[in-house]
Amino acid sequence: MAEMARSALDEPLRGWTDQRIVIVGAGVTGLLAAVRAVLLGHHVVVLERGAIPNPGASSFDHHRAVRALVPGDPSATRRAAAAHRRWVELESLLCGPRPGAGFYRRIGVVTAWPEAEVPAVAAAARDAGLRVELVGPREMWPIGFPDGTSGVLELDAGVLLADRVLAAAAQWLDRHPAAELRPGHEVVAVDADTARVELADGTAEHGDLVLVAAGPWSSRLVDVPVVVHRQTMVYLTPPAELAGRWERMPSAGRIGADGRGWLLPPGAGAHLKISTDAACREVASAGDGVADDTDADERAWADKILAAGILADADAYTVAAVKRCHYAVDAGTGAGRLARVGTSVWARAASGGDGFRTAPLVADQIAGALLGVAA
């Protein structure tokens, strides 16, 4: 299986040598970078302040959408398509052929577009090699589309079962002799010049390369200016009479009355999840105590989401949970770039849906950095 994984996941391994890699954070970026490093022949130590996987991590959730189409940006579409291929390969590597063991539900992703723009969006998708179908609001009922829009359905996209991804990667690493998973090891400082990682218990780790992948908390350890956002999400149980229909539904974006809503459908043990960009707000940090931390304010955000027109007859659905998550983007670019903050120290603070979706590509970038260290 390891040899199959190398042929599928790795560039030629010429010039690699055994290096010691220290990764701070066992979210999706940290774990997938660890898998990639191990496959390259390196020794990896993953430090995580909580459990591995950590239910409190920004990567931890039931599901995340995977899509490829970025109209007007062919290079971004190609990158997203590459991420999709990596996820298919990772599922094979981490889960094997066992029935029901996978984490990628390739159920499609539909996005709503003004009807006048739909032909151009579909043409851009096909030019990028994506399989798409055009669908109308009636076909996608009970998903609510903005007035005057239709849908473009990416057939090869879908949903990642995020908690399964983290569990599969952690289990694979735990079995590998070149990987050390260390839950309950809180990092308090990283020296970007010496690649020295200080822990709360007074001990320290050194690596030939250090990756700080602690999501919104990364800026506490290294100089990576980030903007942190908080997002409220509502998890729903559909009415019994719609359960069968929801089993056949894709995930969806650009929906709701104002086109800012999105949803991930139920399935594989996950609830229907809905939210809207209108419920996303900038906060000082992932741990700050602001007014919208209260239960009453969280319910108010949930009410706004339920009233956003994302679902037809939303009152017929049972609210199973209301949760909030945090995600971070680079303060300068607004993206989730991988930043070099020292001679042998890298950081990626990105988290949230896009950070999850593109994590395999970041693991590829880390592989390139590892080969540079080894050269």
The percent of residues above 70 in pLDDT, for the chain, comes to 87
Give yes or no for residue 290 having a pLDDT over 50.
no
Written as six digits, the tokens of 153 are: 């359905």
The four Cα atoms 193, 373, 182, 34 give a dihedral, to 10 degrees, of: 130
Consecutive H or E run containing 56:
none
Residue 372's pLDDT band (boundaries 50, 70, 90)? low
Residue 263's pLDDT band (cuts 50, 70, 90): very high
Return the closest-CA partner of residue 225 out of 285, 287, 289: 285
How confident is the prediction for the chain on average, in pLDDT?
85
pLDDT, position 288: 45
Mean local confidence (pLDDT), 126-130: 86
The mean pLDDT value for 12-23 works out to 67
Q: How confident is the model at residue 273 (pLDDT cuts 50, 70, 90)?
A: very high
Report CA dihedral (28, 339, 224, 55) to the nearest 10 degrees: 0
Q: What is the mean pLDDT of residues 218-229?
A: 84
* Distance in angstroms (rounded) separating the CA atoms of residues 31 and 24: 10
4 confidence band (pLDDT: 50, 70, 90): very low
3-class state of residue 227 by DSSP: strand
DSSP per-residue codes, 353-369: HHHHHTHHHHHHHHHHH
Q: How confident is the model at residue 199 (pLDDT cuts 50, 70, 90)?
A: very high
Using the predicted structure, report yes or no on whether residue 60 has a pLDDT greater than 80. Answer: no
pLDDT in tens, 309-354: 999 999 999 999 998 887 777 666 555 578 888 989 998 876 666 7
Angle between helices 28-39 and 2-9 (to 10 degrees): 110
CB contact at 8 A, 44 and 34: yes
Comparing 1-10, 81-90, 111-120, 312-321, the range with the smallest average pLDDT is 1-10
pLDDT tens, 136-175?
999 999 999 999 999 999 998 899 998 899 999 999 999 9
| pLDDT at 299 (0 to 100) | 87
Q: Which helix (H) or strand (E) holds 241?
A: none
Helix axis angle for 359-374 and 28-39, nearest 10°, is: 40
What is the average per-residue pLDDT within 294-302?
Answer: 83
